Amino acid sequence: MKGAHAEMTGGDAGSVGLVLGTAIPSLGDTSGEDPSDDAALVAAGYASLTALRGVAEDHRPEIQAVVERAVREASRLLSP
């Protein structure tokens, strides 16, 4: 997706218009696509193969520091 805008249509109801982005022209806006990424390559007629890790714990040191800070803050709440 490349955009979304909300509009009230009456009373408390409304509608969010979706601007779809895609590497495939028939599906939507192709501007801004990286010509080397998987979607663009498929659109250009290639097959793509990409290794995925799925949902995994974030072990980066800078994120562990965030976790430690969060634990400290939350632990204060739980201290008797």
- Given the rule CB under 8 A, which residues bind other proteins? 1-6, 12-20, 27-28, 54-58, 62-64, 66-71, 73-80
Is 43:21 a contact under the CB 8 Å cutoff? no
* Minimum distance of other proteins from residue 30's CB (angstroms): 14
Question: Per the structure block, which two tokens stand in for 66?
Answer: 């965030």
CA distances from residue 11 to 14, 15, 18, 24, 54 in whole angstroms, order as listed: 8, 12, 21, 37, 42
* Minimum distance of other proteins from residue 71's CB (angstroms): 5
* Minimum distance of other proteins from residue 52's CB (angstroms): 12
Q: Which is nearer to other proteins, 15 or 48 (CB)?
A: 15
